[in-house]
Amino acid sequence: MLTKTKYLPLLLLLSGCNLSDSAPQNDENNTDSPPITDIEVPEEIVQELKDQPTVDAQFGVLYGQYDHLLDRSDSLTGTDENQNGIRDDIETFINLLDVTEPVRNALMQDARQKQENLYHDFSENTDENIDKAWEISDKYLRVIACKEYVGMAVRDMTNTSKTLTALTYNTKSRTLAYLAYNRLLDGHLSTLLDAKEEYCE
């Protein structure tokens, strides 16, 4: 089965996006506030997370409580102290979820794939950029296969991916960078992968 990997959710609808006109910058030290790497979560929030029917609903709880701590700096990539390819604030959100480790790792893989295009300049429509954009996009097929392998429901797989997209591109400069990357995927077709452990990072 062939499916287009071009993916354009309603990024600008996420409440709290920074729509300043500052120029995109890729300076990882240019942050307006310290990254969130350690949140003391009250017991009632822990219980609320446990009570949610889906992983994406847990993301909703965390966003409702801690959206003010998300990285909205001018840096495209934000802060990634441990250099694992995931912005620290998003990694913290994933670590707070009440999920099994295989599911957590699959979500980390999803977040890493969504972050990767921010490390490249896709403003020019060149063959090199198109090849790189397709290479990054195809990694999402591995994400889908891994999420399915670890037992996530299809709707939750889709919704958590949309939420991670919104969290990743949560400023104007990040959204514009994503759109530049996404435009290079026009006409790109890929084959879905079987749900196998080998596709999990």
Q: What is the pTM of this model?
A: 0.82
Q: Does residue 90 contact residue 118 with C-beta atoms inside 8 Å?
A: no
Please state, in angstroms and as integers, the Cα–Cα distance from residue 70 to each residue in 97, 111, 118, 127, 165, following that order: 16, 14, 17, 35, 14
The reply to whether 92 falls in a domain is: yes
pLDDT at 123: 96
The reply to whether 87 falls in a domain is: yes
C-alpha closest to that of 105 among 55, 64, 70, 40: 55
The C-alpha atoms of residue 101 and residue 95 are separated, in whole angstroms, by: 9
The reply to whether 138 falls in a domain is: yes
pLDDT at 200: 98
Name the domain count of the chain. Answer: 1
The reply to whether 8 falls in a domain is: no
Task: Give me the domain span that covers residue 100.
Answer: 37-196
pLDDT band at 40 (very low <50, low <70, confident <90, very high): confident
- Considering 26-30, 35-39, 104-108, the range whose residues carry the highest mean pLDDT is 104-108
The reply to whether 17 falls in a domain is: no
The reply to whether 12 falls in a domain is: no
The reply to whether 14 falls in a domain is: no
The reply to whether 118 falls in a domain is: yes
125-131: Cβ within 8 A, 24+ apart: 125/183, 125/184, 129/184, 130/184
